Amino acid sequence: MAENTSKNAIVTGASSGIGAATVRQLRSDGWNVIAVARREDRLAHLAQDTGATPFAADITKDDDVARLRAFATDTFAPSGGVDTVINIAGGARGVDTVANAQEEDWEWMYRVNVLGTMKVLKAFLPALREHGYGTVLNLTSTAGHTTYEGGGGYSAAKFGQHALTGALRLEEAENNIRVIEVAPGMVATEEFTLNRLGGNQEAADKVYQGVEKPLTAEDVAGVVGYAVGLPHHINLDQIVLRPVAQAAAHKLIRR
């Protein structure tokens, strides 16, 4: 059976946070990386710093995903083709209760976390199968495994992404494709909570106030790099990571 000798990865959500940190991690581990995000300026900086190949695309748009597939096929053809797809693109909008749900936020979260992941996978699974082996890594969240008040919309999307990841693992094992889920709890990044709270920096800062060492994007990227770097027969199929201060979604220690 083929071993993972080529290291050609696509990383979505690469413009900031865990996505950008994952690109940095993989590049320093010797991977060839196509870094995908909507924001070209940020990608250009990341590419300059890391030597990753930037590709501007919105993974919720079919035309963009088709362009990405064509580009990745050409780019990686000389080095053995795409073997690893890392879906980091996603996010949260709002902390509304179900009673007060903002429907456009819920739709956005479903589109980016679930449908975006599905579209990227649909585009690349034929290439991974043809390759003889492959790795898919989906970044979900502890919110995809448990619920909390105000988290209904985000959890609904992340539970959905978690579910598609589980189905995919069953479907693709016979094609020698391993499917890894990484589900982080509290991670302090520049944008995640800020975006979720509509750009309110003060409110975003409060979320992490007094929490000793929330996870960083680099912490998560290190775990992602480890999981995809293992020999191909080892599938860390579900990895949940949290800061020690967050023993559960409902138990966060603030000092």
Positions in the binding site for ligand 8X3 (CB under 6 A): 141-143, 151, 154, 185-186, 249
Find the catalytic residue in 110, 148, 154, 226: 154
Q: How far is the CB of 75 from ligand 8X3 (least distance, A)?
A: 30
Give the whole-angstrom CA distance, residue 111 versus residue 118.
10
Q: Would you list the DSSP string of 124-164?
A: HHHHHHHHT-EEEEEE--GGGTS--TT-HHHHHHHHHHHHH
**Catalytic (active site) residue 133:** no
> Which of 128, 42, 51 has its CA nearest to residue 84?
128
Alpha-carbon separation of residue 20 from 46, 47, 106, 107, 217 (angstroms): 7, 10, 25, 25, 8
Q: How far is the CB of 186 from ligand 8X3 (least distance, A)?
A: 5
Of 31 and 154, CB closest to ligand 8X3: 154
Give the whole-angstrom CA distance, residue 45 versus residue 52.
10
Of 48 and 102, CB closest to ligand 8X3: 102
The residue number whose beta carbon is nearest to ligand 8X3 equals: 141
Of 27 and 196, CB closest to ligand 8X3: 196
Catalytic residues: 154
